[in-house]
Amino acid sequence: MRWMAICVLAAAFAAGAEMPGDSSHGALELGTLSRLREATVFVQIKGVSYVDDGDAIESSGSGFLVTSDGRILTNWHVVSPGRQMGEIRLPYRPARIEAVLRSGTPRQKAYQARLLASNPDADLALLKIEAGDCPCLEIGDSDALVETTPVWVVGFPLGRIFSVLHRGPEISISHGCVTSLRHDDRGKLERIQLDAAVTPGNSGGPIVLRSGKVVGIVNMAMGASRINFAVPAATAREWMAGCPLKEGVGESCALEITGEPAGAEAFVDGRPVGRIPLRCLVPAGERCVQVRAPGRRTWTRIIPIWDGRRIEARPALMETIALDRCDSKDISKPGFPGGGATDIVVGKETASVAALERGPAIFREDFEKPSAIEEWRQETGGEEARTWYIEDGMLHQYSEDGLLHAIMAGDREWSDFAFSARVRIHSNGKDGRAGLIFAAGEDGFLLFRLHSAPTQVQLAWHMKDPFGWQIIKVSPLPRRAGGAGEWRELQVQAAGRRVVCMVDGAVCLASAIPVPARGRIGLYSVDSRASFDDILIAPLKGNWDAFPPTSPPPAFWFTENFNRGGEFWRSYEEEKSAPPWPVVRGACLRLDETGAGRINLLERFEIRNGLLRAAAACGSGEVGLVFRHGGGKYYLFAVAPGEKRAELFLVESGSRKRLASADPARVGAALNALAALQDNEPLEVEEGGERPGALRSSRLLILQVLATGERISAGANNVVLLEASDATLNTGKIGLYSKGGKAMFVHVHANSPQP
């Protein structure tokens, strides 16, 4: 029998069949296969609700060792458990991360892993296990790839479905080719496209060449299309260069925090560690570090900690913006000399405003050189993505995906200037918007834009933290022959907190603005496939001889998803400063279960009238919304789900005055309606994981308050539960509230009420 087997193999070889280890016929060498089996790990995750330890989900993925002391590279989405509830994602605490070496074999060994660092934008995460002399894979050169390069995908598709007895699944290796290399317009490789088989569970696994060198990390599969994507190895290498691979990562790592102002309070994961400058010991891994001082924002970062880590924190000065009224203190003395006046109509206001004379140009760009775009920085939906290009002597933005597309002309800041450009919006049946960005800074930018569908122009302030817009002024678009798709010349003249905007040389609106007009300039496009040409910046000569009176802006909205750190939030307990609520990516947490009520105030905005909504999960106690907070007084809408209780209070110096209470039966019906949806709706199964169970007591609540003048209505889960009328407070800040249990807020939205 043995002789017959040898003969069969010999015949197969003579016929051209691939033999194990025969690299000339496409198979990997046995040494390379052995190294892949040893260095590729099966990653298992147990996620637990931040507010209810009994609510857990499990998932899995792949990863691979990159150092001999046990550091593992995988995807961020593999180690960030969560539950999708409609459009809201509830992040879960990664209570256990387990890396299984030699999975599915008798030599299998599982290790508890620590999350050292992550890069959600690149979908990368770095883990650490306590093991020595680990086999590891070498990071190769992804920039040398070409289409049709043979590659192998290594990992654990479908997770534990292919488990062996009580052990984990055995490794799978699929073969394919690079089918496309997705570059940005500067030539940087952004994604590797391949046709090898990729299924859930492969995420985080290595993509290797015949040599066994890693050229990519699996992170996306497009269904059954065999169009799959990977993060280039060069991206991983560049990111890991900022995560020292030789530093200590134990339970007691020395952390040094310096910065200014001296004496500012420092917190790690919501726990006080002292006042800066300081040195302390904290466990290694990703931590929420917060530094705060009176009159300043709370400096907040989710950053990796290792032994000897040094951090410099500089909380910026706090500035409050009134979203529903303008402050006239900066427009105190009109009557400066100017040229011929133009009557403009802004809503119901009429004002006489002159366009100033421009001096000689100090910046020009006609986009005749395609290389000009290399110095411009692009942003898409708050992230860097390149959708702009130069062609035929014009700058174009090709996407119609509804995201905010911006491009900035370098880092130079301008003040007291005129900024103009020609703009054309592609006619596509949508409300295309395009315009001029000015006074762009760290917190956002001012924008003068065209709207094609409603044929109007707007002056707006775009806010980055929280993300949103304040519509300052709106005016009809001056009519002219030609209509949609024609070129229009936009011009902004800005000085201090004054702005005059023009279309085709005619003044169309003027206004006070919420921030000084100083910063970078750029261009903007949404749903428009806009084109731009003939950019010019020039100094202004003279001053306006008149300026319109201030008036309430027509609209605002903003959304906080706690993805940027939440620097404008500040915690109070009975009007006294309290430790900040720590943040994770996608949530703000109150994990202190003491009975005291605590509020987390958004100190950036003053709001008079508005609709406030928030999504919160809680296991017990009360959660709620604070609004019109100021001078030691505020309104509080509090809901206790376990007691089926909802009440509206006026709070002054810690004393509550009940303004309205809801019928318990109505509260129960509102809570049960959403609870049934949560328990029964189909839920996405995480990488290789099983379908999670019910949400138990950690119900997701959608809280809502509408305040217009003296009238207040409040409810939960889109059901109005109570109404009241009170004239005590007419403006103030908004905030979040928790008492007597753990709470997690994942989404806050506010907007001006409809007329």
**Please, is 333 exposed, middle or buried when counting C-beta atoms within 10 Å of its C-beta (0-12, 13-18, 19+)?**
exposed
* Statement: residue 215 has pLDDT above 80: yes
Which domains does the chain possess? 27-240 (2.40.10.120), 253-313 (2.60.40.1120), 334-551 (2.60.120.560), 558-751 (2.60.120.560)
Q: What is the DSSP string of 524-580?
A: EEESS--EEEEEEEEEEES--S--PPP---SEEEEEE-S-S--TTEEEEETTEE-PP
Q: What is the pLDDT of residue 547?
A: 65
Dihedral, CA atoms, 150, 155, 158, 163, nearest 10 degrees?
Answer: 130
Cβ(45)–Cβ(35) below 8 Å: no
Model pLDDT for residues 710-742, shown as the tens digit of each residue: 999 999 998 999 999 999 999 999 999 999 989
Peptide bond into 135 cis (omega under 30): no
The pTM of this model reads 0.85
Residue 359 has which token pair?
């001096």
Q: Strand, coil or helix: what is 724?
A: strand
Model pLDDT for residues 496-539, shown as the tens digit of each residue: 888 999 999 988 888 888 888 999 999 999 988 899 999 999 99
Residue 289 has which token pair?
């570090």
Cα 486 to chain centroid, rounded: 35
Q: Which amino acid is at 18?
A: E
Cβ(339)–Cβ(355) below 8 Å: yes
Residue 675's pLDDT band, with cuts at 50, 70 and 90, is low
Element of type H or E holding 113? strand 109-119
For residues 451 and 664, what is the distance between their CA atoms, to the nearest angstrom?
Answer: 47
Q: Are strands 555-560 and 531-541 parallel, antiparallel or unpaired?
A: unpaired
Q: What is the DSSP string of 665-722?
A: HHHHHHHHHHHHHHHHS--PPPTTPPPP---TT-EEEEEEEEEETTEEEEEETTEEEE
Q: What is the pLDDT of residue 13?
A: 34
Cβ(535)–Cβ(408) below 8 Å: no
Question: Worst-scoring range by mean pLDDT, 237-241, 454-458, 522-526, 703-707?
Answer: 454-458
The DSSP 8-state label assigned to residue 171 in this structure reads P
For residues 542 and 559, what is the distance between their CA atoms, to the nearest angstrom?
Answer: 40
For residues 249-278, average pLDDT: 95
Cβ(617)–Cβ(309) below 8 Å: no
Q: What is the pLDDT of residue 72?
A: 96
